[in-house]
C-alpha cells in the first residue's frame, strides 16, 4: 500500500485559559508573548482508536474500511501500541518540550471532526473522525485554540461540525474558522493577555487545500471560513474583518489552510498574499498549514510567515510514498513576539518525528535534514536557521 492510495482524497470564538508566563516573574503579555504553533493535528481515525473512548471504526475509503487498519500498519513498522493509551500518550516528548518552553498560548490546526456522526460526506474519499469522548487528549496538551477552516472538519456532515464546535466549547478550547453561518465562521478566537490586550486568531481556508466549495459558510448555512482566492479583494476582506476586531495593543495571527499536500514551492501569489496581509490587513503572524511536510520560512517587515508547518500528529506510519519530502518529520514552532507590536523577537524550532502514534524528539541525522531543507527553501526568502544546541534549530534574525 502506498501513501498516494491512502491519501487520494485526502459556538463563536471561545475565550480560553491564560497560560503561565515564560520566565519567572514575567507578566503575560507585558513585554513579549511566546506561542506554540504547529501544522496539522489529526487526532482522528487510527489515533482515535488507541484512545480510551474510540468512535466507531468504520470508514468509507477506497482501500480501507476500518480505522483499525491504520493502527495495524503503524504496528507493523514500529511495534505494538498499548491500548487503550492514556490521553497524554500521543504527545510523547512534546510534553517535556512544552514544559521547558512554557508558551503563553498553544495553537493548532485541528484536522478532524470530533463526532460520532455516521453522516460521512458523500463523494469525499477520506473522513477523519475522533470521538468527543477523547477531547481529553487535546486538554492533556493544554491546547488553547484550534483552527478548523480545513478540508476535514465537515467530513461527517453538518452534525459532525455541530458536534465539533460543541465539544471544543465544552472543553474550554477556543475555535476559529467555522461556525453556524458566515458571520460566526469569520470571527477570530480571542485569547486574553494582560492590560486588556488580546491575541486574535483569524482562520481561513482555500479550495486548493481540498476544501469543497459547498463547505463555505453562508448567511444561512453552517460551514468553514473559505476564501475564493489569493487576490487583492480577498486581502481587503481580511483587512475589513481585522479592523472590526483588532484594538490597540492586540496581536493578530492569520491561520491559513492552503495549498496541496506535497511540494516545497511557495507560489508568488501565496507570498504576495501573505505580505499584503501583513502590510495592509493588520496581521502580525502568518500560520500556514496543509502541506504534509515543512516549508520555507520568511520574515517580512519584522513579521513571521510560516508557509507550511507540516503534519504534527497523524496516523500515516506504515504508508509508503513521497519519502523525499520526509513527511515523518515535523517541527514545534515557538515564536516570541513583541507583545506591543507583534514584531518577531525569536523563533525556536524543536524537531520531532512520529513513532507508534507518539511524538518523539527527532534524531540528530533528521535534525540535519530539517536544517538543510529549511535553509535551502529559505534562500528565496532570505531566511536561515542555525543549530543552537543538539535538539533545536533557531531562525537567524538580522
C-alpha distances in angstroms, 219 versus 184, 301, 341? 10, 36, 34
SS (H, E, C) 117-165: CCCCCCCCCCCCEECHHHCHHHHHCCCCEEECCCCCCCCCHHHHHHHHH
Using pLDDT thresholds of 50, 70 and 90, give the confidence band for residue 4: very low
What confidence score (pLDDT) does residue 398 get? Answer: 77
With a cut of 70, say whether residue 263 has pLDDT above it. yes
**Whether pLDDT at 9 is above 90:** no
For the cut 80, the answer to whether the pLDDT of residue 19 exceeds it is: no
Q: Is the pLDDT of residue 82 over 80?
A: yes
Percent of all residues in the chain with a pLDDT value above 70, rounded to a whole number: 92
Cα 168 → chain centroid: 15
Does pLDDT of 181 surpass 80?
yes
Q: Which residues of 278-313 are buried (b: 16+ CB within 10 A; e: fewer)?
A: beebbbbbbbbbbbbbbbbbbbbeebbbbbbbbbbb
Question: What cell numbers appear for 384 in the block?
Answer: 536561515
Cβ(79)–Cβ(356) below 8 Å: yes
Domain edges within the chain: 3-395
User: Contact, 47 vs 134, CB < 8 A?
Assistant: no
**pLDDT value at position 194?**
85
User: For residue 43, is pLDDT > 80?
Assistant: yes
Taking only the tens place, the pLDDT of each residue in 322-343 is 999 999 999 999 999 999 999 9
Secondary structure (DSSP) of 270-289: HHHHHHHHHHHS--SEEEEE
Q: What is the pLDDT of residues 365-393, one digit of tens each?
A: 999 999 999 999 999 999 999 999 999 99
At residue 229, does pLDDT exceed 90?
Answer: yes
Q: Which three cell numbers stand for residue 389?
A: 544546541
What pLDDT is stored for residue 11 in this prediction? 36
> Rounded mean pLDDT of 257-276?
97
Q: Are 11 and 164 in contact (CB under 8 A)?
A: no
The CA distances from residue 360 to 10, 89, 161, 307, 350, in Å, are 24, 11, 31, 23, 10
Residue 27 clears pLDDT 50, i.e. is over it: no
pLDDT attached to residue 309: 98
The band of 123, judged by pLDDT with boundaries at 50, 70 and 90, is very high
> Is the predicted pLDDT of residue 26 greater than 80, yes or no?
no
At 193-208, the pLDDT tens digits run 988 899 999 999 999 9
| Topology at the third CATH level for domain 3-395 | Purple Acid Phosphatase; chain A, domain 2 (3.60.21)
Three-class DSSP category at 349 = strand
Position 69 scores a pLDDT of 98
| 108 SS3 class | strand
Instruction: Identify the pLDDT of residue 294.
Output: 98
Give the residue-averaged pLDDT of 45-52. 98
**Residues with Cβ within 8 Å of residue 82, at least 6 apart in sequence:** 50
Is the predicted pLDDT of residue 143 greater than 70, yes or no? yes
Give residue-wise pLDDT tens across range 276-312. 999 999 999 999 999 999 999 999 999 999 999 999 9
Helix and strand counts by DSSP (H, E) for the chain: 10, 20
Amino acid at each position: 500500500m502506498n501513501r498516494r492510495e491512502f491519501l487520494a482524497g485526502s459556538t463563536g470564538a471561545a475565550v480560553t485559559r491564560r497560560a503561565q508566563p515564560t520566565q519567572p516573574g514575567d507578566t503575560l503579555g507585558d513585554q513579549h508573548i511566546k506561542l506554540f504553533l504547529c501544522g496539522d493535528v489529526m487526532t482522528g481515525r487510527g489515533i482515535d482508536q488507541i484512545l480510551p473512548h474510540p468512535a466507531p471504526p468504520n470508514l468509507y475509503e477506497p482501500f480501507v474500511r476500518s480505522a483499525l487498519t491504520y493502527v495495524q500498519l503503524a504496528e507493523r513498522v514500529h511495534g505494538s501500541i498499548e491500548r487503550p493509551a492514556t490521553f497524554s500518550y500521543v504527545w510523547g516528548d512534546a510534553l517535556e518540550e512544552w514544559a521547558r518552553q512554557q508558551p503563553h498560548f498553544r495553537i493548532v490546526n485541528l484536522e478532524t471532526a470530533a463526532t460520532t456522526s455516521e453522516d460521512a460526506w458523500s463523494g469525499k474519499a477520506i473522513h477523519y473522525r475522533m470521538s468527543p469522548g477523547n477531547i481529553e487528549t487535546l486538554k492533556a496538551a493544554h491546547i488553547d485554540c484550534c483552527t478548523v477552516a480545513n478540508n476535514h472538519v465537515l467530513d461527517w456532515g453538518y452534525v459532525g461540525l455541530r458536534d465539533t464546535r460543541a465539544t471544543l466549547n465544552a472543553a474550554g478550547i477556543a475555535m476559529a474558522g467555522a461556525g453556524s453561518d458566515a458571520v460566526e465562521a469569520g470571527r477570530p478566537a480571542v485569547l486574553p493577555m494582560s492590560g486588556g490586550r488580546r491575541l486574535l486568531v483569524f482562520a481561513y481556508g482555500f479550495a486548493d487545500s481540498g476544501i469543497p466549495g459547498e463547505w463555505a459558510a453562508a448567511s444561512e448555512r453552517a460551514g468553514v471560513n473559505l476564501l475564493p482566492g489569493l487576490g487583492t479583494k480577498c486581502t481587503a476582506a481580511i483587512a475589513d474583518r481585522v479592523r472590526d476586531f483588532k484594538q490597540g495593543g492586540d496581536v493578530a495571527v492569520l491561520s491559513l489552510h492552503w495549498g496541496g499536500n506535497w511540494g516545497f514551492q511557495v507560489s508568488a501569489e501565496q507570498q504576495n498574499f501573505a505580505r499584503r496581509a501583513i502590510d495592509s490587513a493588520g496581521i502580525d503572524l502568518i500560520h500556514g498549514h496543509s502541506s504534509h511536510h515543512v516549508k520555507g520560512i520568511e520574515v517580512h517587515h519584522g513579521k513571521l510567515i510560516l508557509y507550511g508547518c507540516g503534519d504534527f500528529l497523524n496516523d500515516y506510519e506504515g504508508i509508503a510514498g513521497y519519502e523525499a519530502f520526509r513527511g515523518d518529520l515535523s517541527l514545534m514552532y515557538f515564536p516570541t513576539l513583541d507583545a506591543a507590536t507583534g514584531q518577531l523577537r525569536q523563533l525556536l524550532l524543536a524537531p520531532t518525528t512520529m513513532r507508534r502514534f507518539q511524538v518523539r524528539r527527532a534524531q540528530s541525522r533528521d535534525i540535519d535534514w530539517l536544517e538543510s531543507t529549511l535553509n535551502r527553501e529559505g534562500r528565496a526568502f532570505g531566511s536561515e536557521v542555525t543549530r543552537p544546541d543538539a535538539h533545536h534549530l533557531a531562525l537567524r534574525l538580522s
